[in-house]
Amino acid sequence: MTTQEKTLKNCANARNLMTRARTEGFAVGAFNIDNQETLIAICQAAQNLNSPVLVELSQGEADALGLDNVRALVDNYKKQYGIEMYLNLDHSPSVESAKKGVDAGFEFIHIDISQANHDATDEEIISATKEVVEYAKKTGALVESEPHYFGGSSNVHTEAIDYAEIRKTFSTPDGARRFVEATGIDTFAAAIGNLHGKYPVPKELDLHLLAEIRNAIPCNISLHGGSGTPAEYFTQAAQIGVSKININSDMRYAFRTSLEKVLAENPKEFAVVKLMPTVISAVQEVVEEKISAFGSAGKAQVSHASQGVHE
């Protein structure tokens, strides 16, 4: 089987996963990585709970690690751990960068023109999204997008959440329907109180609005900014019909705080690799908590998904 044939098969399997998630009422976790240790933590969590997972890179992470490098790592670890795992290019800020993700064999592509230009017009966002949707047909990759800028940042914040301001950017059922019809996307990124980053107060999701959006559109729904959200919101969101939930800041927080602790406890150890099992375990714990809340434990189908593209 050629690399192209394997990419087509992986993308077909990814589409099957989204169908299963919707049909069976669970969501798949999309977990960001910016280092190999975090990837190992995700793999160990997926193996331990027999859960499908998405590994994702935003633009900064993609620039640091390289799309092809991560493709190879994910394929190798997918085979080593015997897990169902796919790659998502998260918040790709341009058509060009999104196309690079398709060419690298990513099964999921998120095109987010408003991320780079908060003032992008509806016409610009729709045009760019349609171009990526068309380009992704060469592999069958699923394309995700949203009609406007999504707030926050994947970091640990000290300020409270201004929900009066955030509600101004909430998705609407009619707006979601028009955008999906105009672009032909596979996944709609809904804004219902979810917000990028980890905040000092729990996030609150408008599940009634989510149900209305679910009834208004035929495609998959994703939730970005999942960190710091009480687990019961995730469980209900999955039952309503969310198929994909993104997690980043909670993992970054676990990684850094556990690394700081283990470094402080071992001031004379300069082979840092010897200290990483503790860090990996801390991140794995976060991933397993999310998987349990999403309802995806036990949902992996590894028989058709464990073969990597690069063999």
Pairwise CA distance, residues 93 & 136, whole Å: 16
- pLDDT tens figures, 153-212: 666 766 776 777 777 778 999 999 999 999 999 999 999 887 767 676 677 789 999 999
* pLDDT for the residue 310: 44
Q: Find all residues with CB under 8 Å of 101, minimum gap 6, and list them.
A: 62, 67, 89, 92, 109, 141
**What six digits make up the tokens of 191?**
């804004």
The pLDDT of residue 305 is above 60: no
* pLDDT for the residue 167: 76
DSSP state of 82: T
Single pTM value for the model: 0.92
What value does the mean pLDDT take over residues 283-287? Answer: 98
- pLDDT tens figures, 245-254: 999 999 999 9
Domains plus CATH for the chain? 3-294 (3.20.20.70)
- pLDDT tens figures, 39-92: 999 999 999 999 999 999 999 999 999 999 999 999 999 999 999 999 999 999
Rounded to the nearest integer, the mean pLDDT of the chain is 92
**What six digits make up the tokens of 122?**
């509806």
Bridge partners (DSSP) listed for residue 55: 31, 87
* pLDDT for the residue 302: 84
* Residue entry with tokens 């290019």: 89
> Helices marked H in the chain — which ranges?
3-24, 36-49, 59-65, 67-81, 95-103, 113-116, 122-135, 163-166, 173-183, 207-216, 231-240, 249-265, 276-294
